[in-house]
Chains A and B, each alone.
Chain A
Amino acid sequence: DAGVIQSPRHEVTEMGQEVTLRCKPISGHNSLFWYRQTMMRGLELLIYFNNNVPIDDSGMPEDRFSAKMPNASFSTLKIQPSEPRDSAVYFCASSLQTGGNQPQHFGDGTRLSIL
């Protein structure tokens, strides 16, 4: 079975540019999460979708960050304009339920470097 699929795997761009990260959750999973991981701050939840609806975006750092989930099989995380401090690994994860008793499954991540 296919796991969570993220693209691109790596992204290097100059500050000020728009960055779009993509995620395809596991088929049948109704919960989708975007995380950011850095050495300093560990794993941070950015936004959570349930049945394609954003439920909690309190972790989104600034208005420069936005996320969408137009359908059950696709989500994007966009940064515009990007800044060097956005450099991190961004993970997408999905799970079957919202009650928390099901584990999350992570994609390979996007390693983002903003120069």
Chain B
Amino acid sequence: RKEVEQDPGPFNVPEGATVAFNCTYSNSASQSFFWYRQDCRKEPKLLMSVYSSGNEDGRFTAQLNRASQYISLLIRDSKLSDSATYLCVVNKGTYKYIFGTGTRLKVLA
């Protein structure tokens, strides 16, 4: 079983829709969690860190469920520019950041 698993998608959604991705992790000792977005042929860019109490940044909301060992990302009012691959990253408190393989999102006009 992979340490970090994501549905590869693609998730095809119309503009203005709400879309959510989950990411499951296998190591209960995981301490830090992040969402990155990666555009085609570009570098991963930090979208947001995920805090235990959940956090929101504009149209984006991240949540952590330690009991079920998953994190989620919710995007409201999707824009065409949200089309990208979203990477889930988990860290156990060391220098090793475990990356998921990413979920592709396509927002359609």
Tell me if A45 and B96 are in contact (CB < 8 A). yes
Number of interface residues of A (CB under 8 A): 23
Nearest to B90 among chain A residues (CB) is: A100
Chain B interface residue count, CB cutoff 8 Å, equals: 21
Contact A55 B43 (CB under 8 A): no
Is A12 positioned at the interface, with any CB of B under 8 Å from its CB?
A: no
Given the complex of chains A and B, what is the CA–CA distance between A107 and B45 in angstroms? 9
- Judge whether A61 is part of the interface by a CB distance below 8 angstroms: no
Query: In the assembled complex, which residues on chain B have CB atoms less than 8 Å from the CB atom of A33?
Result: 95, 97
How far apart are the CA atoms of A105 and B89 in the complex, in Å? 12
Mark out the residues of chain B between 66 and 109 whose CB falls within 8 Å of any chain A CB in the assembled complex.
89, 91-97, 99, 101-102
Which residues of A pack against B, CB within 8 Å? 31, 33, 42-43, 45, 48, 50, 55-56, 89, 91, 98-101, 103-109, 111
- List B residues at the A interface (Cβ < 8 Å): 31-32, 34, 41-46, 49, 89, 91-97, 99, 101-102
